Amino acid sequence: MRRAAVRRGARVIEGTATIVADGAVRGVRVDDVFVGADAVIAAAGAWSPQLLEPIGVRVRIAPQRGQIMHLRLPGVETGNWPVVLPRSQHYILAFGDSRIVVGATREDDVGFDHRVTVGGMAEVLGEALSVAPGLAAATHVETRIGFRPVGPDVRPLLGAVPQVAGLVVVNGLGASGLTVGPYVGAIAARLARQVDPGIDLAPYDPLR
């Protein structure tokens, strides 16, 4: 999605961002670079509280740790393998270089703990082997850690913040970010342009 945005003219500035506001959004400062703006979409995932609290906005977002394992089956063509979504909350994804990704844990109340745990790997492998026992022959390449943003309930946080004109908050998509994210992003863009979003956003109040 980042590459697609750049192809369409987006400018990517890497660094530590802060929102500049005085009752209304004035822009964003990334390290020493200031970008003026009439509207800002705050979509900082599990780190949104740290971004928003300095301007007096509090959102109920917490990190949920996910441990994801990367495996390899040497000599096996995996490029045409299907995506496997068992009835559990786990999945198996295959790529064209004999690589398989299996995941993922959903660990609440662990904070920003970056450790790879034996229990997490056991859970992921146990679920994967229960539906694809042939993966027992795979080589373990690495285990990665990610932090999903989870809100007070299953609904995302999406909407404008009345006390800071021009601020739109998008968050709380949890494990659904890659699937519902583009749709939610389109709604947020409409809000930032002060265009009717087309749906009732009351159930998704970001300050609830």
pLDDT tens track for 72-99: 999 999 999 999 988 878 999 999 899 9
User: Whose CA is closest to 141, among 95, 87, 80?
Assistant: 95
Q: 3-class SS at 179?
A: helix
Intra-chain end-to-end CA distance of the chain, in Å? 29
pTM (two decimals): 0.89
Q: Does the pLDDT at position 130 exceed 90?
A: yes
Q: Which structural domains are found in the chain, ordered by start?
A: 2-61+153-204 (3.50.50.60), 62-149 (3.30.9.10)
- 83, 136, 144, 197 from 139: Cα distances, Å: 19, 8, 15, 47
Length in residues, the chain: 208
User: Whose CA is closest to 108, among 46, 176, 62?
Assistant: 62
103 vs 125: CA distance, rounded Å = 8
Q: 3-class SS at 144?
A: strand
Q: Residue 63 has which token pair?
A: 């990190």
Which pLDDT score, from 0 to 100, does residue 187 have?
98
pLDDT tens sequence across 149-188: 999 998 999 999 999 999 999 999 998 888 899 999 999 9
Query: Which residues fall within 8 angstroms of residue 180, CB to CB, at 6 or more apart?
Result: 156, 173
